[in-house]
Structure formats: C-alpha cells, structure tokens
Structure 1
Amino acid sequence: MTKHQKRLSVPKSWPVERKTETFTTAAGAGPHGEDGVPLVILLRDVLGYVDSKKEARYALNQDTVLVNGDAVSDESIPIGMFDILAFTEREEYYRVFPDEGGRLSLTPIDADAAGSKLGKIEDKRQVPGGDTQLNLHDGRNLTVEDGSEYSGGDSIVVDNDTGEVVAHFPYEEGALVTAVRGQHAGEIGEVETVQVTPGSGSNNVSVETDDGSFETVEEYVVVIDENFTGGDDE
C-alpha cells in the first residue's frame, strides 16, 4: 500500500487544501473506509500541533494522544465521524463532526464527554446464546442481552472504558439528525417524515431545519443529541 495520496483526489471529507502541494499522507488500514482521515493530517494541518510526520511519531510515542480512549502510535491511523480525540497533556478534547460540505471538523468537548462515543446502528443480528449483536457505522460490534429496543438507523453512545450503552437515540420522526454525506452534509435538523421506498431502493427522509428543510436518503443521516452540535457546554 502506498504511503502517499494525491491531494486532488482525496475524499471530500478530508480537511486538506487540494492545490497547495501534490501529495499528502495516505490513510492506513482501519475503520471508516475511504473517508477515514490520517491522524497526522489532523495533528499537522488542522490543529497545527506538529510540522511533520516525524514530529507526529514523537508526539504519539508519549502516549498522551488518545483515540476513543486508547493511546495510539500510528500517525496514519484513519480518524472518522464521531471519533473522540483526547490530548491528555494539554487537557484538550475533540469530537470529529461533519462540517458543511461534508468535511470532517473537530468540535471541542469537555473531559466527561470524551469518555464515550456515538455510533450509528447499521444493522443487528442474533448471535449464539440469544444475545443481539449491534453493528455500528465505524466497524465496531456491540453485544447486548436484549436487542428488541434497538433498530437500524438508531444511534447509541458507548462508554469507551466499559463498552456499555449509556444513551440511545431512536431513528424516528422528530429525531435530531445531521447529514453526513451528500449535498446537505453538515446540516442539522429534525426528521419530519420518512418516505418508505418499495423494493430495495433507499428510503428518503425529509429534515426540517431552522432555515427550511431538505430531503436526502436515510443512509446519509445520523441521529444525534443536541449536545453534539458543538461547543464546550456538554
């Protein structure tokens, strides 16, 4: 796998300038698919904490940079939607959140909020023993005893240390959502209606915002809590 990525062809979610230089760092293997942004890009291009990959490696070797509660040492690890970055030495904490246009941005949060992470339930299935496995948007799998209250499209907040569900946000009319893909990426509003499409096509969802409304496919929206919309007031 190449270690370089042409800037002009990076995914729209990557927060990099495309015309300043020819190449940037390629993402390593991990969750989030092609939308995952290499950690070094956030450290160097977004936060300005380092000037090079060498400095990033040194910083990570201090075990003071945590991703979803775990210290990381690989500067190319892909970071994606709703991941939690903690800089323990600086006492700074961020949630990765979709910005307008679909770019990933860093939203400052407090230390308590950094202890858990939101995940969208993509699907669920029963596993041997009768428990239910919830499959989340970032590749995580979570097993719960009773899965009857959870449905695909719901969001849950999982404690980074215990792996327990600490909050559950159903996907339903009136739910607060953010679009994470498509032309309305980054917009936030409440689900007004869900239009079920017969057959295998995607359902459409109408979302009411402060400025009007928009429609998109339901795969592009994620249910969130009002505290996820930004700021240090969590």
Structure 2
Amino acid sequence: MTGSNHIKRVAAPRTWPITRKTSKWVVKPTPGAHSEERGMPLVVVLRDLLHLADRSKEIKQILQEGKVLVDGRVRKDHRFIVGMFDTLSIPAINANYRVMIGDNGKFKLVPIKDASVKLCKIVNKTTVRDGKIQLNLHDGTTMLASNDYKTKDSILIKVPERKIDQHLNYGIGSMVFVAAGQHAGEIGKVKEIKVVRSSSPNTVIITTAAGDFETIEPYVFVIGKDAPALEGVGA
C-alpha cells in the first residue's frame, strides 16, 4: 500500500505506541491542531491503545456512528489527529480518557471521570484586529483573551465550549509536567529558570523527590502549584 494517507510503521513517530513489524503501513493523521510528532490518528488510538476492535474497518464504523468524542465534539474522521492533554470520550461504554505521555516517551490513555476540561500551554501571543490579544496554544488552536496571560503559562479550558476555566502561571515553584526528552512523563517543581542568550531555548531545573534534573522550556507544561490542577496528570 502506498500513498500520502499512510506511512511505514518503522518510520512512524517514536511517540506512537504501535508495533513496528506486524505490518508495513500505518495510517497517517490528517493535518490538524497537533504536529505529527505530538499527535496520532484517532484510528490508532482506538485500535492500538484501547483495543476497541482489531481492524481499521471496524473502527471506522464506530466513528461513523458518532460514538467517539474528542474534547467534547463528535469526530468521525479516522485520521483525525489526537494529542497530549486531549480528552477522549465513548459515552456508550461510559468511558473517558486523557491523552498523556508516559515515562517511556510514548502516548498513553489515562482513565478520567470528568472529560469537560483540558489543559493548554500558551506558546505565544499575537495582537489581532481591534487590538485584541490572541493566545496561540500548544495544540495548534487559538483563542481571544485579556493580556493577563503570559507565554509559557497554562490554561484550563472547558470543552467543547472553549472557555477559560483556570489560569496556571509559569515561574519558580510552579508544578510542571515534562512532555518530551529524557525525563518525559515526570512531574516536579520549577527550581530555576536559566535564560539562554541565544536562539537556543531556555533551560529549567526541576526538583522532584528523587532529585533535580534539567530540561528545556519547550518540554515543560505547567499543571498546577502544589498539586496537579487536572485529573489524569501524573497517573
């Protein structure tokens, strides 16, 4: 099988928790909010992580019947890209999950009770028409807000309404989740932020019960102050 809708399994992002040698090809996600490295197609989530069915054809049927919601909205495209902190709901079996990164650097699904809130990191801000502030978020989405929010802060968003529910500030003492790199999946508190005077990203010293480690700011997501503000993080 060839074509732009598939990629070789051996070439798939290492974040995808799939077998590499059972077959040659795997579905490629539709371009969307998340990058291919930071997301995976819905069919892979339902088949390879949840094991709802063994074949893509069966997964497509489940989706066409409107039985799966991502961030509170029905998604029928089997190639729809799903990424970190997204919520996945299957009302027919009363199941909700949050997409997370495990300590092996691969995606995993964490069962949750409340799928009405997701976390987004503010990657930058822009000024748009009429001087309004637009927040550009890690999942590729945007939203208008006041200028009280800073780059690298996180926000909790009610879904599917997409209303800000809580503001989580980035700084010394913030509780953070590491999304990539050698320490992927770890949680700790920011001890020090090292500003790099070059095009390279700033680095962060994070302290945990097991000791301190250093990573780069793009890998760090604020998840709370003294405890995670979001269900399913750190599970």
Choose from 40, 45, 51 the match for 1:48. Answer: 51
Q: Would the alpha carbon gap of residues 230 and 161 (structure 1) be closer, same or farther in structure 2, given more than 3 Å must change?
A: closer
1:51, CA displacement in angstroms? 1.5
Tell whether 2:6 aligns with 1:4: yes
Which ranges in structure 1 are unaligned for 5 or more consecutive residues?
none
Q: Would the alpha carbon gap of residues 151 and 162 (structure 1) be closer, same or farther in structure 2, given more than 3 Å must change?
A: same
Alignment of 1:92-107 (within 5 A): 92-107=95-110
Alignment of 1:1-234 (within 5 A): 2-35=4-37, 36-110=39-113, 113-144=114-145, 146-147=146-147, 149-225=148-224, 226-228=228-230, 230=232
Is the CA contact 2:42–2:81 (under 8 Å) kept in the aligned structure 1?
yes
Which ranges in structure 2 are unaligned for 5 or more consecutive residues?
none
Give me the whole-angstrom Cα distance separating, in 2, the residues matched to 1:64 and 1:191.
40
1:164, CA displacement in angstroms? 1.3
SS of equivalent residue, structure 1 residue 43: helix
Matched residue pairs, number? 228
SS of equivalent residue, structure 1 residue 134: strand
Q: Would the alpha carbon gap of residues 60 and 17 (structure 1) be closer, same or farther in structure 2, given more than 3 Å must change?
A: same
CA RMSD of aligned residues (A): 1.6
Give me the whole-angstrom Cα distance separating, in 2, the residues matched to 1:29 and 1:195.
34
Indicate the larger mover: 16-25 or 30-39: 16-25
SS of equivalent residue, structure 1 residue 184: coil
SS of equivalent residue, structure 2 residue 193: strand
Taking structure 1 as the reference length, what is the TM-score of the superposition? Answer: 0.92
